[in-house]
Amino acid sequence: MSDTKTFTSKDLVSDQDVRWCPGCGDYSILKQVQSVMPDLGLKKENIVFISGIGCSSRFPYYMNTYGMHSIHGRATAISSGLKASRKDLSVWIITGDGDALSIG
* pLDDT tens track for 1-37: 555 668 999 999 999 999 999 999 999 999 999 999 9
Q: What is the mean pLDDT of residues 65-94?
A: 95
- Each residue's pLDDT tens digit, 43-60: 999 999 999 988 999 999
Neighbours of 28 (CB within 10 A): 9
Name the β-bridge partners of 67. Answer: 49
pTM of the complete model: 0.88
Q: Give 48-88 as a DSSP string.
A: EEEE-SSSGGGGGGGBSSEEEE--TT-HHHHHHHHHHH-TT
Which amino acid, 28?
Answer: S
